[in-house]
Amino acid sequence: MLNRTPTPTPTITPTITITPIALIAVCAAAVLAPLATAQPDVPPGFTARKIAPLLDGQVPQLSAIDDPGFGTGVITGTGGNGVVTLRLIEASGVIDILGTIPGRVEPRVKRVRLDHGSEIDGLLHLTTHESFANSSSTYYTVDSSGGIIERWELGSDTNGMAFDFDFTGTFGPSRVYLLDANSNGPGSALATMDESFDVTITNQDSDPDGRTDTDGQGFQRDVTGLYGGGILVADTDDDDQVSALYELRDIESGGVYRALSAPVNWNTRRYGDLGIAASGDFGGVIYITETLTDEIQQVAPDGTHTTWATGFTGIDSLSISSDGNSMYVGDLNGVWLIRATGNEPGPVVLATDPSVPQTSQLTGNPITSFRVIFNEPVGFTDSDITITNSGGDPVGFDASGSASQFMLIGLAEPLFGETYTVTIADSVISVATGEPLDGDNDGFSGGDAVLSFTHRCPGDFNADGTVNTIDVLQFLNAWTAGCP
């Protein structure tokens, strides 16, 4: 189990008592998500793969990421039973818990996003909305060690708020743009937040012409410039029961809306979320979830809607990676990864048995065999594996377990006081998809996995492979120092 102790975070006012938790790698049995019974229908040349089950009984908010600190895949945010839970789901289906926020009444995650441009501290950001007792919106930041800080809380029972947000990027100075998407009453507040997390309401009742309210379901900056370069707002409002798509600009001065599609009755079209990327397989067009028909639509700059994918169940959230090559979709079956065919994730190594964590060594009796555990069944032969000792000489072995998740390797000579390097070639393939091994665990198939096993003789204090007088002297020095 991976266990990273969270970095202590400073006290910031206002604050609540938040318990950061360590990043915990979920065990292999919990992360192997089977494909859904009903597979979504995506266009030729694309493949949809279910990478996680339904989390906490609800469709999570999603944010695709590729970050040295947090990892690669998609961040999910769910809220229920008084707790907000953040997870990282890798393309392979491995799930890590990033952190939890307890002590809320009935929390709902409105938006979760990584600050790719390091505009506001380079952290993970999220907003939550209290659905019942206190209709307020709270803004949090999360560091890669799981440290969580509440930055502010706005709203009340009489002036409920649920802030959606995105970063300005090159669109404006380093700050965050916010839109109140609360359905509690007419009028949607517009606001900005600066690098000090100070919020300025620029328009308390912001509405497009001819509308009495908006409840933004999707909110993302137009990184393509094809839709005007402002903030894209997918609106489905339950006050005037209208759905429409807008470009929003000039938020600092109160906001100007421009309709990208004609408003329609919400029984004709109902939005869940939107995503857009500048390039890649999904680049250059808006993708939007349509919750009435459980499909994904493309929206052209002239507002034309075209069905792109169907067959989801209770579809809602959507996020596209910054390189435009991965789309993550949330529905009542779980979390789906959609990629161009040939870019599917390959199998990954989850663990070894015996386990050798980084900087650790095996001690005790000689090791005659070990297991490599994958996230899904894989096919292999002995020719896919090489083992060498510390001198670079080949070591004899026999491998078994092909077509399962377990590669059992029996050694021709016991591992004792020695280091072995095990190289598993990407000629190892997924039984289900035929994709090669993702040995470097970057989310894309291809790349060898290189594992190292070091056995340290009991009493070998200096780890030179032998037990001699030097080890005795080191032991005596440790003993006299009070550190036996």
What local confidence, expressed as pLDDT, does residue 477 receive? 57
Write the DSSP assignment of 448-480 as a string of letters.
-EEEEEEEE-TT-TT-SSS--HHHHHHHHHHHH
Asked if residue 63 lies in contact with residue 319, where contact means CB atoms within 8 angstroms, the answer is: yes
- Among 340, 370, 390, identify where a domain stops: 340
Asked if residue 334 lies in contact with residue 52, where contact means CB atoms within 8 angstroms, the answer is: yes
Q: Residue 30 in 3-state DSSP?
A: helix
The per-residue pLDDT for range 237-247, each reduced to its tens digit, is 777 888 999 99
53/76 same-domain check = yes
292: in domain: yes
| Residue 231 pLDDT > 90 | yes
What's the mean per-residue pLDDT of the chain?
Answer: 83
User: Which stretches of 42-197 are assigned E, i.e. beta strand?
Assistant: 46-52, 61-67, 71-80, 83-89, 95-101, 107-114, 124-130, 137-142, 148-154, 163-167, 176-180, 188-193
The count of structural domains within the chain is 2
CA pair distance 317, 220, nearest whole angstrom: 13
Nearest to 36 by CA among 93, 86, 88: 93
276/395 same-domain check = no
227/268 same-domain check = yes
31 exposure class (CB count in 10 Å sphere: 0-12, 13-18, 19+): buried
What local confidence, expressed as pLDDT, does residue 26 receive? 35
173/223 same-domain check = yes
461: in domain: no
266: in domain: yes
CA pair distance 346, 327, nearest whole angstrom: 16
270/331 same-domain check = yes
Which is higher by pLDDT, 303 or 156? Answer: 303
Which strand ranges, in their side-by-side order, compose the sheet holding 61-67?
A: 3-4, 23-25, 95-101, 83-89, 71-80, 61-67
The per-residue pLDDT for range 456-483, each reduced to its tens digit, is 765 544 555 555 555 455 545 555 555 4
373/333 same-domain check = no
Confidence at 354, pLDDT banded by 50, 70, 90: confident
Segment 166-188 shows an average pLDDT of 73
| Residue 303 pLDDT > 90 | yes
The tally of CA atoms less than 13 A away on the side-chain side of residue 169 is 16
133: in domain: yes
Asked if residue 266 lies in contact with residue 241, where contact means CB atoms within 8 angstroms, the answer is: yes
What local confidence, expressed as pLDDT, does residue 59 receive? 95
Residue entry with tokens 């908010």: 61
What local confidence, expressed as pLDDT, does residue 465 receive? 54
| β-pairing verdict for 429-430 and 397-400 | unpaired
| Residue 224 pLDDT > 70 | yes
Asked if residue 233 lies in contact with residue 274, where contact means CB atoms within 8 angstroms, the answer is: no
377/335 same-domain check = no
Please state the φ and ψ torsions of residue 419, each to the nearest 5 degrees: -120, 130
Asked if residue 380 lies in contact with residue 482, where contact means CB atoms within 8 angstroms, the answer is: no
What is the number of helices (H) and of strands (E) in the chain? 2, 35
CA pair distance 181, 168, nearest whole angstrom: 18
The per-residue pLDDT for range 59-79, each reduced to its tens digit, is 999 999 988 889 899 999 999
Look at the alpha carbons of 445, 318, 54, 310 in this order and tell me if their dihedral is positive or negative.
negative
What local confidence, expressed as pLDDT, does residue 155 receive? 84
CA pair distance 299, 59, nearest whole angstrom: 23
154: in domain: yes
At residue 431's C-alpha, the angle toward residues 425 and 435, to 5°, is 55
371/256 same-domain check = no
Q: Which CATH number goes with the domain that contains 437?
A: 2.60.40.1220
359/330 same-domain check = no
Asked if residue 256 lies in contact with residue 273, where contact means CB atoms within 8 angstroms, the answer is: no
What local confidence, expressed as pLDDT, does residue 482 receive? 53
| Residue 46 pLDDT > 90 | yes
pTM given for the model: 0.81
- Write down how long the chain is: 484
- Among 311, 340, 369, identify where a domain stops: 340
468: in domain: no
Q: Which two tokens stand for residue 119?
A: 């505009």
451: in domain: yes
253/402 same-domain check = no
CA pair distance 88, 150, nearest whole angstrom: 20
314/417 same-domain check = no
- Among 340, 374, 392, identify where a domain stops: 340
Which is higher by pLDDT, 281 or 413? Answer: 281
143: in domain: yes
Q: Which CATH number goes with the domain that contains 283?
A: 2.120.10.30
The gap between the terminal CA atoms of the chain, to the nearest Å, is 28
Range of the domain at 325: 3-340
Looking at mean pLDDT, say which of 136-150, 179-193, 362-376, 397-411 comes out highest.
Answer: 397-411
| Residue 411 pLDDT > 70 | yes
What local confidence, expressed as pLDDT, does residue 136 receive? 85
231/143 same-domain check = yes
Please state the φ and ψ torsions of residue 112, each to the nearest 5 degrees: -135, 130
